[in-house]
């Protein structure tokens, strides 16, 4: 039997206040090379608009990439609030 890799679907994360438009939208997906990427879709973050989580955080799956994004924003809450 040949092992089939399970296709991972892109995940969209939003941050903001419930009931209001999302301030920041993160899309976590795999590129053609298989690297996990996070993209800030509704804002231009300049240098940090697309971040390769495979190189920065060692993420190999989209699930690990989502955890890395959540961990970063939890430990750097001051950056997430525009301060």
Each residue of 40-75: pLDDT tens digit?
Answer: 877 777 778 889 999 988 999 999 999 998 888 888
- Asked if residue 72 is part of any domain, the answer here is yes
3-state DSSP helix/strand/coil % of the chain, to nearest 5: 30, 25, 45
Residue 37 has pLDDT above 50, yes or no: yes
- Mean pLDDT of the region 31-45: 86
- Asked if residue 24 is part of any domain, the answer here is yes
Contact (CB, 8 A) for 29 and 10 = yes
Q: Which domain holds residue 17?
A: 11-77
- Mean pLDDT of the region 26-51: 86
- Asked if residue 82 is part of any domain, the answer here is no
Residue 17: per-residue pLDDT: 64
Residue 1: per-residue pLDDT: 47
Residue 35 has pLDDT above 90, yes or no: yes
> What is the domain count for the chain?
1
- Asked if residue 48 is part of any domain, the answer here is yes
39 exposed, middle or buried (CB, 10 Å; 0-12, 13-18, 19+)? middle
- Asked if residue 55 is part of any domain, the answer here is yes
């Amino acid at each position: 039997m040949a092992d089939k890799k399970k296709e991972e679907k892109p995940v969209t994360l939003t941050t903001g206040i419930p009931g209001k438009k999302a301030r920041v939208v993160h899309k976590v997906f795999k590129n053609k090379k298989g690297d996990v990427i996070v993209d800030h879709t509704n804002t231009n973050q300049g240098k940090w608009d697309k971040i390769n989580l495979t190189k920065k955080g060692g993420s190999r799956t989209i699930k690990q990439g989502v955890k890395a994004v959540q961990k970063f924003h939890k430990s750097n809450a001051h950056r997430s609030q525009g301060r």
